[in-house]
Structure 1
Amino acid sequence: MIEIFMPKAGMDMQEGTLIRWLKNIGDEVEKDEPIMEIETDKITMEAEAPGSGIFLSKLVDDGAVVPVLTVI
């Protein structure tokens, strides 16, 4: 099982907002495929899957503010 973390997009980044998931539970995911959109105090960006497999769960809902490196 591969865990997905809130990425740290800069040295000063402490938290990010998960704007929306791009995948649904049960979807196939390929490594490096965009799986979510996040927003920091400076940018909005897509974050990529760390590995391939089936998307099993969402621990954080769209719109949540999450500390960096938290499993989401």
Structure 2
Amino acid sequence: MPVSVTLPALGESVTEGTVTRWLKAVGDRVEVDEPLLEVSTDKVDTEIPSPGAGVVAQILVAEDETAEVGAVLAIISEDGAAP
């Protein structure tokens, strides 16, 4: 079953974040809690870990794009499964 990677709330007043760098590409294997991307907000710069193990199936927010807290940034599928 595919897992959605969402932008977490990174602070009480933070409502959005900008993807500064993807550490994985579509087709790359990831493990749970492995760093997946870097996000910058007006308060903090941080890495977002993978919420599940599998293969990066889709990246929905490109580098330098801004997303709201809770937005889906990427989809991780099980090995070989379509999202």
Regions of 4+ moved over 3 Å: none
Larger radius of gyration: 2
Q: Please state how far the C-alpha of 1:41 moved relative to its aligned partner.
A: 0.5
Q: TM-score scaled by structure 1?
A: 0.96
Q: TM-score scaled by structure 2?
A: 0.84
- Gap runs ≥5 in structure 1: none
Deviations 1:24-44 (A, max 9, x none): 100000000000000010111
Which residue does the alignment assign to 1:22?
A: 23
2:7 touches 2:72 (CA, 8 Å); kept in 1?
A: yes
Aligned length: 72
- Gap runs ≥5 in structure 2: 74-83
| 2:9 equivalent to 1:8 | yes
